[in-house]
Structure 1
Amino acid sequence: MSSKKSHKESRQAARGQTGAVTHREEILRAADLLEECLLLLDEAGNVLHANAAAARCLGLSLEELLKANMARLADSAPPEEALHLVRGLLAAGEEFSGESVHTKPDGETVHLTLSLTRMNPPGSPGVAFALVARDVTDSRRAEEQILHDAFHDALTGLPNRALFMDRTGQSLARSRRSEEARFALLLMDLDRFKVVNDSLGHQAGDRILQGIAQRLKACLRPADTVSRLGGDEFALLIEDVREGRDALLFAERLHKALLEPFALEGQEVFTAASIGVALGTPAYENAEELLRDADTALNRAKAQGKSRSVLFDPTMHQSAVALFQMETDLRRAVESGQFHVYYQPIVSLKTGRTAGFEALVRWQHPRRGLVWPAEFIGLAEETGLIIPIGLFVLKEAIKQLRSWQSRHPRTPPLLMSVNLSGIQFLRPELTTQLDLTLREYGVEGATVKLELTESVIMEHAEYARDMMAQMKAQNVKLCVDDFGTGYSSMSYLRRYPIDTVKIDKSFISKMDTDPESLEIVRTVVTMAHNLGKEVIAEGVETREQLAKIKALKVEYAQGFFFSKAVDRESAESLVTWRWFW
């Protein structure tokens, strides 16, 4: 009886063991269906089981994995990564979760999240730990790309402003710790790059910027940095530069790197740049201050004629502060009506009478007194304030012309010349403003003369032709101002509806002493007359100059010989004045 019972129990135990084995195999087969990597480890870290995902993820076969120890797998990763830590954690019997970068035998790296869990108490046979890993390579690379994009320029791949300013701040910190850690910041702006974009298109411009980025990188050492701050502006951080002349020599290398033309769409495209240089010293509080000074030097380089390098010095900052104050004052002047129009007579050399006036703006500054245009017109153009200033002068001059024409009627009627800034001329609404002003004051367009410089006409040839045609439709007269100082091409006088040529005073003033200037004036007058244009001689100051231009049959003259520009009350008496010589 007892023998039968024992035999029965043995069979039941065997069936139980078989069932347990079968159950374990089912679990392991199910593990192979998981996307996560699963490693079952013993107390010593030997791999007792690995699923198919683990083999794929780690780049090993199942056979290789089952012969592996976690120490070997950890050694395949960089020592600072999490897999290296697992060996110590296995011995300590702790749970662990974290991340690791694992290197496969073929050199490919994978990013893993890890979770190590103890399955049985220490000293138990068989499985001691379960290690679950998930391949997060794609998401981590996406995060790395997002981080990279946040600090790099999308077009050129160079560090962007944020990264550049961070590195500049680090360089400043090093300079405070050591006198030897000096450096230079170079700010570069491409000259006339807008012309490339306008003529060849923005895609071509982008290719030029990419090419320039590569050339700048080729000039650098490993410790240096080049960044695209935006548009056509680049910044460079050059380490181990102790003196200004060394920084300027490096800037010269950059200029030379840009000399070679770019081959683009079957043509050569030449580039040049202006560069401002500032030396990094412990005196700077932050990177923004250093960049500000480099920008100040850059503006000075541009003002000196483009394609130049200028080293910052403190006097430039003082000038920049003064310029900023003037801009503030200029904006206030526009708002509070501090501008006034002065009038300089234009005299008919045939009759000796005032044929008209040129309207000239003056700024009555509350502290500085009368400010001449040479001091603020450039800044007004740069800031766009020339638009309201120019419109004020146009309206005021036409209003005054109407007043004088009403009180002093004559044939031919009094004329008024008004200068147009290039910025003002490029505004499409100018012709509408002109038409409204003429209608408002009841002035005939034929008694208004608008003065333009050669450079404005030639740099915007097609636009200028269209705009001038609209002006001529309003019967206004058109005058080329400062003739001879720009392109000096008489051919465009034939192509554009120009009525009058005004010879620049720089030629008139030298007629007495410089035969070449006299010959230039003679040539201009002859050619203008041959094309049916009237001529005004500007800047006449002596009787001798007057005699020479009269001999050349110049129609009109203006200058200090007759009168300086005066306010409207003083100009009133000149309306009917007659000069004798």
Structure 2
Amino acid sequence: MNLALSPAIREADPAAPEVLSILTATSPENVAAALLAALGDGGDGLRIVFACDWPQAVRTVPETGGPTDVFDADGALLALRSGSPDGRATLLADDEEGAVALLMPALPDGARHRAVLDAARQRMTELLSLERLGRSVAQFSQAEQVQHALFAIADMAGSDLDMSEMLWELHGIVAGLMYAENFYIVMFDRERAALQFLYFVDAIDSSGPELGSEMALADIERGLTWHLVTGGRPLMGSQESLATQVSGPIRFHGADSLDWLGVPMRRNGEVLGGVVVQSYDQANRFGERERALLSFVADHILTAVERKRSKESLEQRVAERTRQLAEANEDLQKQITERLRAEHLQAALYRIAALANVDESSERFYAQIHEVVGELLNAENFYIALLTDDRRHLEFPYFADTVESPQPQRPLGNGLTEYVIRTGRPLLLDEPEALRMEAGGEFAWSKGAGVPAVSWLGVPLGGQNGVMGMIAMQSYRADFHYDQADCELMTFVSYQIASSLQRRKAAEALKRLNAELEQRVHERTQELREQIAVRERIEAQLKHQVMHDALTRLPNRLYLQDRLDREIALLRRRPDRRFALLYLDVDRFKLFNDSLGHLAGDDVLKEVSQRLSQCVREPDVVARLSGDEFAILLVDIEKPEDACGVAERVQQAMQRPMSIAGRELQTSASIGIAFGDTRYRSTDAILHDADVALYRAKGAGRARHVLFDDSLQRQATDVLALEHELRAALANEEFEPYFQPLVRLGDTRAIGYEALIRWRHPERGILTPDKFLSVAEECGLIEAIDWQMYRAACAAAIPLVKDGGFITLNISPLHFQHDDFDERLLKVTTETGFDPKNLRIEVTEGTLLGDPEAVARILDRLRVACVEAALDDFGTGYSSLGYVHRFPLKMIKIDRSFVDSLGGDRSQRSSAVVGAILALAHSLGIEVVAEGIETEMQRQALVAMGCVYGQGFLFGRPQEPAHYGG
């Protein structure tokens, strides 16, 4: 041993026994004992107080067991550290890191004991420092072990272990930290005053509580566990010691343990359970270390248990939800089956009803009824029995049976068929029931020589005068019996069969009556010949009536056509003799008719006819064509200006107020003029040109006249040419979709695309809708073009929505006039492979107001099929706020007229409107898209108001699918 000795030790004899025993001591207690021994008689009454982590774990040699030594020693140490001598102690060690040793009381000054004191100071300082270092290493090792244990507990909470396996693993982890052979975990529900033992292992007590079951807290009242969860404080020690730690008595349950340690598990200050270990062995006792360790681990055990319980609860809820969904699916399948059955039944009833109108033989008629019934249930053996007109006999117009032969007509008896007709109720029988009823005198049932029926079903046929007959089915197979459901079904079908039979009888009776009538007509022919002369006399009068309007007494269309034919024929002979046709109608005549009534409207027409007649010469013709349409034929005029002059006189005459139904009305007329020359070969041609000029006059604002010329002819020709090209484009599939993105305004990321139609014209290139849609609507091609567009858009958009999003299709109001529109649209998605959940349709407010109930039904069915609806151009219609809540809408699109002025002079008013729309949509749970965004200022204004989505040229113009990678 190489020791650095102090000068006092070197001056004394280092090899002196007392110094050497101090320097070679291996523990602070040994140093203290050697020092006291070296002091000899002077050491009587002395004691040495020391600690490696002052003032914690202070020890005394010799042991006194009193706190006074520690208190005095601590006071003396403070005085010595301040440099003041203190008679209470001599300082042996103080490294300012917790290693302190004091000799108490202090020795008097002198060199007598200097050597042993210096040796004691040196050795005590070294050993206390080593002891502190050892404790630090042990504490670090223990902390690392605890940390690993906590990590393991946290991992188990998220593992696939069930609760019992996890708790067994938790027991193992706790046992690795401390003695825990006897260990249990209990949960506490304060509101229900109940306990649940999650885990219980005890080497001695084999009759522990039932795991997982709930136990009333009163069942273990005043027990250790009861005190633990109700007191909320850790309890540790022997039974005697535990009695001093609780208030009130203790009732011990189970085996008597030598040492017991329990700590509560808390969450937010509330006791939720406890963790307990107990020992029956003197060698395994619990101390402060175990209590602190178990208290620390208990919180993590509670977290693990709660997480595991939450996971198991979630799994149970998922399983329960899965079960509920399975039950709902089963119910839905039953509903579908029932609906298909109902549809099948409805189709059968339609077919039976239609048979009454088919001109076929009676044999074929009854055979088809048998065929329809056979599609609903087993009708291999089937017959129809009807009462004769005198209701005394029974006839069998149809009889199909695999065993029995067709039955001839017979008088009414007491058989099964007569029983059904007599009672007017359906009858379902098997052989034992038939024998029982026969024994009761209900009917006479004779098997005859044939094979008896195993099951028999008969249903009466009701007529206007009571039961008219019955239909019956029978089975000879032991493996097939009719049941009550078959009886109810045939009862329902019998009503339609009876109705068809009555209608067919009525039709046959009508044929007989027609034959009789033809005979009577033939007989009357001779009489009618005698009346022909009389009819010829009045023919001239009838012709005049046919050629003139009954209301206004003016010539009608037939008369005008006849005159035009003559004028055109005369024009061919005399090209210099011209004529003109004025085609006119009364502006707003329908308003007069609707407001004042048809009688007042007739008075208006009479007044108009009189004024028109006053504006022409004697040879000219004023005719009423239909409704409020009139025509004036001007004959023998020189130039078109003359016809225009007459038109001006007519308009002046029409503008004079007229008194009708006690009210003064202001009228006007629109006039189209066609000037007759050699180019006309038919009346239809000049009527057409005059009608085109009239249409142009009404389109220009009414109360004016237009002369047909070459420009109108070219426009009409262009429309016809465009119509022809549209038909060819439809056949060649030249219509294709362009897509414009709908974006999230915050990050401008596309969430969907609006499909917009384009026409790839073979000569004029890409045409926008304004170049052709109006003509398509007029010529009735718009619906066919739409369906071609829908199909192309769905096919082209599949790559665009493969990662999510949707496309929108603009739907014309015409489509909602067809109740099967949703079925056709879903068929398009099926044929193109497009997922319906990625499809939305855009409708206008005018569409919603056309037939609200029908539109709502179609939109509801589309929503069930995952196709959502968007309301386009929101805010420009008639009743936006009043109707938007009535329809199943996913999205509304704010019209661009409100977006254009954002950031401008009208920004405040537009912002108020947009804000109101956003609030409405938010309250109804509807998404909002702002249309027509073209500037960053508009985007920022919309974002500030809370608008999430937008669309416009700022984010992109309509492009081909390939532009977006489609």
TM-score range, shorter chain: 0.5 to 0.7
Give matches, 1:560-571, under 5 Å. Answer: 560-571=953-964
Q: Which residue of 1 aligns with 2:357?
A: none
Asked if 1:247 is matched to 2:647, the reply is: yes
Question: Is 1:276–1:312's contact at 8 Å kept on the other side of the alignment?
Answer: no
The question of whether the paired residues in 1 share the 8 Å contact of 2:748 and 2:955 is answered with no
* Inter-partner Cα distance in structure 2 for 1:435 and 1:448: 10
Residues 529/144 of structure 1: CA separation in 2 closer, same or farther (3 Å cut): farther
Q: Distance in 1 between the 2:842 and 2:609 partners?
A: 47
How much does 1:491 deviate? 0.9
| Range with greater deviation from structure 2 (331-340 or 392-401) | 392-401
Cross-structure match for 2:327: none
Q: Which residue of 2 aligns with 1:436?
A: 827
**1:234 counterpart letter in structure 2:** E
For 2:946, which of 542, 553, 557 is the aligned residue? 553
> 5 Å matches for 1:399-418?
399-405=795-801, 408-409=802-803, 413-418=804-809
Deviations 1:222-270 (A, max 9, x none): 656454545x57232164882536515624755778x98889xxxx9x9
User: Are the counterparts in 2 of residues 183 and 242 from structure 1 also a CA contact under 8 Å?
Assistant: no
The CA deviation at 1:156 is: 7.7
Equivalent residue of 2:883, what SS?
helix
- When residues 135 and 319 of structure 1 are mapped into structure 2, their CA distance, relative to the original with a 3 A threshold, is closer
Shift of 1:323: 1.0
8 Å CA contact 1:274–1:298 kept in 2: the answer is: no
Counterpart AA for 2:585: M
Give the conservation status (yes or no) of the 8 Å contact 1:511–1:517: yes
Partners of 1:457 and 1:260 in 2: CA distance: 40
Give the RMSD, CA atoms, in angstroms: 4.1
Structure 1 residue 280 displacement after superposition: 2.9
| Aligned mates of 1:444, 1:271 — CA distance in 2 | 59
How far, CA to CA, are the matches of 2:628 and 2:543 in structure 1?
23
Task: Give the greater-gyration-radius structure (CA).
Answer: 2
- State the shift of 1:324 in Å: 1.0
- Cα contact 2:893–2:930 (8 A) shared by 1: yes
1:336 aligns with 2:697: no
For residues 845 and 666 of structure 2, what CA distance do their matches in structure 1 show? Answer: 25
Contact 1:343 / 1:566 at 8 angstroms: preserved in 2?
yes
> What is aligned with 2:851?
460
Pairing 1:41-190 to 2, within 5 Å after superposition: 138-148=534-544, 151-152=547-548, 159-169=555-565, 183-188=580-585
Counterpart residue number, 1:394: 790
| Residues 1:481 and 2:872 are matched in the alignment | yes
- How far apart are residue 188 of structure 1 and its match? 3.1
Q: Residue by residue, what CA displacement relative to the aligned partner does 1:336-382 show, whole Å, maximum 9, x if unpaired?
A: 11111111111122442111111111111111111110111111111
Q: CA deviation at 1:183?
A: 4.5
> Could you tell me which residue of structure 2 aligns to residue 280 of structure 1?
675
Distance (whole Å) between structure 2 residues aligned to residue 137 and residue 147 of structure 1 = 16
- Report which stretch shifted further, 365-374 or 523-532: 523-532
Q: Report the more deviating stretch, 474-483 or 458-467.
A: 458-467
- From the superposition, tell whether residues 529 and 283 of structure 1 become closer, same or farther in structure 2 (CA, over 3 Å): farther
Cross-structure match for 1:541: 934
Q: 1:360 maps to what in 2? A: 756
Higher RCO, Cα 8 Å, sep 6+: 1
For 1:468, the aligned partner's letter is L
Instruction: For 2:607 and 2:571, locate their aligned partners in 1 and report how far apart those are by CA, in whole Å.
Output: 28
Change (3 A) 1:564 1:192: farther
**Distance in 2 of aligned mates of 1:489 and 1:249:** 47
Identity of aligned residues (%): 29
Task: Tell me the CA shift for residue 466 of structure 1.
Answer: 3.6
Give the alignment partner of residue 471 of structure 1, picking from 851, 862, 865: 862
Distance 1:163 1:567, change over 3 A: same
* Cα deviation digits, residues 282-325 of structure 1 (max 9, x gap): 46525433322222233334545678765544322221111111
Q: Which residue does 2:606 correspond to in 1?
A: 214
Output the CA distance in 2 between the equivalents of 1:196 and 1:436: 47
The answer (yes or no) to whether the contact 2:836–2:865 under 8 Å persists in 1 is yes
Return the TM-score normalized by structure 1. Answer: 0.62
Which residue of structure 2 lines up, in the alignment, with residue 498 of structure 1? 889
Which digits, 9 at most, give the CA deviation of each residue in 1:49-74, with x for residues without a partner? xxxxxxxxxxxxxxxxxxxxxxxxxx
Distance in structure 2 (CA, Å) of the matches to 1:153 and 1:329: 42
CA distance in 2, matches of 1:309, 1:162: 24
User: CA separation in 2, counterparts of 1:470 and 1:261?
Assistant: 51
Unaligned runs of 5+ in 2: 1-529
| CA shift in 2, pair 1:207/1:169, >3 Å | farther
Q: 2:632 maps to what in 1?
A: 237
Cα distance in structure 2, aligned partners of 1:339 and 1:213: 48
**In structure 2, do the counterparts of structure 1 residues 136 and 288 end up closer, same or farther at CA, with 3 Å as the change threshold?**
closer
| Aligned 8 A contact 2:656 2:666 in 1 | no
Name 1:289's counterpart in structure 2.
Answer: 685
Q: Distance in 2 between matches of 1:533 and 1:196?
A: 43
Note the residue ranges of structure 1 that are not aligned, 5 or more in a row: 1-133, 574-581
The equivalent residue for 2:816 is 425
Q: What's the secondary structure of 1:394's corresponding residue? A: helix
* Alignment: residue pair count: 423
> What is the distance in 2 between the residues matched to 1:571 and 1:465?
34
Distance apart, 1:160 and its partner CA: 3.9
CA drift at 1:507: 3.3
Give yes or no for contact 1:248–1:311 (8 Å, CA) kept in 2.
Answer: no
Q: What is the CA–CA distance in structure 2 between the aligned matches of 1:381 and 1:192, rounded to whole Å?
A: 26
- Paired with 1:526 and 1:274, the residues of 2 have a C-alpha distance of 49
Rounded to whole Å, the distance in 2 between the matches of 1:387 and 1:171 is 43
Partner of residue 318, structure 1: 714
Q: Are the equivalent residues in 1 in contact too, given 2:674–2:689 (CA < 8 A)?
A: no
341-350 or 307-316, which deviates more: 307-316
The AA in structure 2 aligned to 1:435 is L
Matching of residues 368-387 of structure 1 within 5 Å: 368-387=764-783
Residues 1:402 and 1:228: Cα distance change in structure 2 (over 3 Å)? farther
Partners of 1:187 and 1:346 in 2: how far apart?
50
With 293-302 and 351-360 compared, the bigger mean Cα shift is at 293-302
The alignment partner of 1:490 has SS state of helix
CA distance in 2, matches of 1:493, 1:182: 58
In structure 1, give the amino acid aligned to 2:861.
Answer: Q
Tell me the residue number matched to 1:447: 838
Q: Against the structure 1 CA distance between its residues 385 and 252, is the aligned structure 2 distance closer, same or farther, given a 3 Å change threshold?
A: farther
